[in-house]
Amino acid sequence: MNTVAMADSARAAAPALDVERIRADFPILQIRPRGRPLVYLDSAATSQKPRQVIDALRRYYEEENGNIHRGVHYLSELATLRYDETREATRRFLNAESVNEVVFTRNTTEGINLVASSFGQAFVRAGDEIVVSLMEHHSNIVPWQLLCERSGAVLRAVPVTDTGELDLGAFESLLGPRTRLVALTWVSNSLGTVNPVERIVAIAHARGIPVLLDGAQAAPHLAIDVRAVGCDFLAFSGHKMLGPTGVGVLYARGDWFDRLPPYQGGGDMIDTVTIEKTTYAKAPSRFEAGTPDIGSVVAFRAAIEYLERTGLDAIQRHEHALVAEATAQVGALPGVRLVGTAPGKAGVLSFTMEGVHPHDIATILDQHGIAIRAGHHCTQPLMQRFGCGATARASFYLYNTMDEVNALVAGLHRVREVFA
Amino acid sequence: MDLGALYEEVILDHNRSPRNWGDIPGATHVDGRNPLCGDRITLSLQVEDDVITDVRFTGEGCAISKASASMMTQAVKGKTRKEAEAIFEGFHDLVMGKAGTAPPDKSLGSLRAFAGVSRFPARVKCATMAWHALREGLSRES
């Protein structure tokens, strides 16, 4: 869509979401798993994709496919242009200063691994400390543990309160002269807690400590302004925010990328190569070795524009209404324990049911066409903190409705009947 | 789809009141885990003269994994290593759907209640977790 049409539809957008119109953009919502209408409540795992993104992917392969930064022919130039257009769209989406602060990765995990590897190599030595928290996804724990094993650094974890919030007092006291980096999630994938990232960054920066934010669950739901937040690094995935799988973003503020050694070596990341010595390209190319998932990056722009056109503030209001209703109804069911009750949560409801394992809840709901996640959600330290091995998690996005909240509740009644 | 096919009454019963729940002090202990979902089981196993004289378990898991462990302990207690292995083979074929449309092997007894698992591929690992722990324990005992 061109910019004029975008501006028009942005003006036309009503404050509340037109969910029926949005749903019509998502072909997959028409399928009938096991003969029932699909109730998709697993967007925190991966979101569904609008027609606009699918069309962009098809258009790319049918009309625009060539390798980037290589050829002088028509298709190579066009693919390069499209690829760079997504980089600019991402910069605008984040309110970053420069496209050189935006590197494309496969996903959030790869972005965090990149920082753990390159930042670690440049700045982390034996006895240094990295601060994470108990509510991190394994992808924001394990890369740092690997770094600690390599370097002799020490991993510290910020505790979590009973409502599922970071203990900021404990966070402050964990920061010391050897703290090299703070790596925290913006929004918890298991609990939905939205962490006060501006305060966190301010506290760390006051001590001269850089901050990486895991934005996997933030980018789909919040209007992001990296300049306001002030974080040094931000990693997120395209597939959780309406985009295709295979594309993620690593943002690094200012000259951070120029201060880091390369992550992977290969084509496209070099300046000149001789057998004796190689000099490297500047960021972002330096961190994009090899042919990337060009088609997915190109189509990712359609996802960004879809979110911008719909309005992240409106999306957030819609999700809050769904979560509030789901919290009230599910929370009132006998034997249900809500896990994570922080105010202002993003679109996640995590819970357990007395006498019924989350897997069994998920299987029974699935028989009614309702997709939720059951398990530890790749947050085992957090599950241990709350004394449960697993939870059932319903997650909501812009295409979900109150009817679907009601379907979830009706499904949970059925679970009770089976396990009575 | 008929949910009863998965959650047979006997499975729900063993989930509510697992048999042979507990620990055998001093016996061989094996931990079973499903890293995908975090379910875990600790099996304690006593083998004398090639016969499984006692087997107990504790752990945390879904109805399928708990009932499977519970019914497994009943099925293999008093059996020789070879007999237990044969029951495992039959059970494995059953939950993998390898038995086809033929009626389940009668020698499996109440374990036949797990036939429905073959229609739920995501749950096969839940049903076999305890059995894999048992086999590991038996191999250590040998």
ipTM: 0.87
- Of B60 and A184, the structure prediction assigns the larger pLDDT to A184
Q: Per residue, what are the HEC states of chain A?
A: CCHHHHHHHHHHCCCCCCHHHHHHCCHHHHCCHHHCCCEECECCCCCCCCHHHHHHHHHHHHHHCCCCCCCCCHHHHHHHHHHHHHHHHHHHHHCCCCHHHEEEECCHHHHHHHHHHHHHHHHCCCCCEEEEECCCCHHHCHHHHHHHHHHCCEEEEECECCCCCECHHHHHHHCCCCEEEEEEECECCCCCCECCHHHHHHHHHHCCCCEEEECCCCCCCCCCCHHHHCCCEEEEECHHHCCCCCCEEEEECCCHHHHCCCCCCCCCCEEEECCCCEEECCCCHHHCCCCCCHHHHHHHHHHHHHHHHHCHHHHHHHHHHHHHHHHHHHHCCCCEEECCCCCCCCCEEEEEECCECHHHHHHHHHCCCEECEEECCCCHHHHHHCCCCCEEEEECCCCCCHHHHHHHHHHHHHHHHHCC
Q: Which residues of A are catalytic?
A: 378
Nearest residue, CB atoms, A390 vs list B1, B38, B64:
B38
A375 and A358 inside one domain: yes
Give yes or no for a contact between A29 and A23, defined as CB atoms under 8 angstroms apart. Answer: yes
For residue A286, the distance in angstroms to the closest alpha carbon of chain B comes to 35
Q: Are residues A324 and A175 in the same domain?
A: no
**What confidence score (pLDDT) does residue A7 get?**
45
Q: Is residue A54 part of a domain?
A: no
Q: For residue A318, what is the domain's CATH number? A: 3.90.1150.10
Mean pLDDT, all residues of chain A: 95
Q: What domain range includes position A327?
A: 5-49+312-418
- CB-nearest partner of A359 from B3, B16, B37: B37
Shared domain for A84 and A132, answered yes or no, is yes
Say whether both A361 and A249 belong to one domain: no
Task: Check if the beta carbon of residue B69 is closer than 8 Å to that of residue B18.
Answer: yes
Residues A355 and A379 in one domain: yes
Specify if A163 maps to a domain.
Answer: yes
Q: Which residue has the higher pLDDT, B100 or A248?
A: A248
| pLDDT reading at A377 higher than 80 | yes
Q: What is the pLDDT of residues A354-368, one digit of tens each?
A: 999 999 999 999 999
Q: Taking residues A56-82, what's their average pLDDT?
A: 94
A357 neighbourhood in chain B, CB within 8 Å = 61-63, 66
Q: Is A331 within the bounds of a domain?
A: yes
Please tell me the predicted confidence (pLDDT) of residue A9.
46
Q: What does DSSP say about strands A391-395 and A348-353: parallel, antiparallel, or unpaired?
A: antiparallel
Whether A285 and A334 share a structural domain? no
The mean-pLDDT minimum among A19-33, A123-137, B90-104 falls in: B90-104
The 10s digit of each residue's pLDDT in A3-14 is 444 444 444 444
Question: What residues of B are in the A interface, CB distance below 8 Å?
Answer: 1, 3, 6-7, 12, 15-16, 36-40, 60-64, 66, 120, 122-123, 126
Question: A28 vs chain B: nearest CA distance in angstroms?
Answer: 21
pLDDT for B101: 60
Cα of A411 to nearest chain B Cα, Å: 13
- For B23, the 3-state DSSP assignment is coil
A317, A187: one domain: no
Instruction: Say how many Å lie between the first and final Cα of chain B, rounded.
Output: 43
Q: Tens digit of pLDDT for each residue in A136-188? A: 999 999 999 999 999 999 999 999 999 999 999 999 999 999 999 999 999 99
Cβ of B62 within 8 Å of Cβ of A367? The answer is no
Find the closest chain A residue to B122 by CA distance: A363
Pick the CATH number of B3-141 from 3.80.30.20, 3.90.1300.10, 3.90.1010.10, 3.90.180.10: 3.90.1010.10
Q: Is the pLDDT of residue B46 over 70?
A: yes
How far apart, in whole angstroms, are the C-alpha atoms of residue A153 and residue A183?
14
Domain boundary among A308, A342, A377: A308
Q: Are residues A126 and A95 in the same domain?
A: yes
Please give the average per-residue pLDDT across A201-228, as a whole number: 98
Looking at A254, A281, A308, the residue that finishes a domain is A308
Domain with residue A155: its CATH number is 3.40.640.10
Q: Give which of A267, A299, A302, A268 is closest to A285, Cα–Cα.
A: A268
Residue A55 resides in a domain:
no
CA distance A26 to B129: 38
The pLDDT of residue B3: 59
pLDDT of amino acid B122: 86
Helix (H, G, I), strand (E, B) or coil at B26: coil
Tens of pLDDT, residue by residue over B90-141, are 999 999 988 666 666 677 888 999 999 998 888 899 999 999 999 999 998 7
The amino acid present at A265, given as its one-letter code, is G
The per-residue pLDDT for B98 is 84
Measured in angstroms, the CA of A354 and the nearest CA of chain B are apart by 11
The span from the CA of A132 to the CA of A181, in Å, is: 9
Facing B62 at nearest CB: one of A359, A376, A383: A359
Report the residue of chain B nearest A365, measured CA to CA: B3
Which of A308, A328, A348 is the last residue before a domain boundary?
A: A308
Distance in angstroms (rounded) separating the CA atoms of residues A124 and A151: 7
- Verify that A201 and A284 share a domain, yes or no: yes
Q: Tell me the chain A residues in contact with residue B120 when contact means C-beta distances shorter than 8 Å.
A: 363
Same domain membership, residue A251 and residue A344:
no
Which residues of chain B neighbour A418 with C-beta distances below 8 Å? 3, 7, 12
A358 touches chain B (CB under 8 A): yes
Please state the rounded mean pLDDT for residues A375-395. Answer: 94
Mean pLDDT of all residues in chain B? 90
- pLDDT value of position A3: 44
In a domain, A282, yes or no: yes
Q: Which of residues 20-79 of A touch B (CB under 8 A)?
A: 34
Number of A:B CB contacts under 8 A? Answer: 49
Model pLDDT, residue B107: 76
Q: How many domains does chain A have?
A: 2
Together in a domain, A121 and A268: yes
Asked if residue A321 is part of any domain, the answer here is: yes
What is residue A299's predicted lDDT score, i.e. its pLDDT?
Answer: 98
Interval A295-348: pLDDT, tens: 999 999 999 999 999 999 999 999 999 999 999 999 999 999 999 999 999 999
Q: Do residues A295 and A65 make contact, with C-beta atoms less than 8 angstroms apart?
A: yes
For residue B1, the model assigns a pLDDT of 44
Q: Are residues A171 and A296 in the same domain?
A: yes
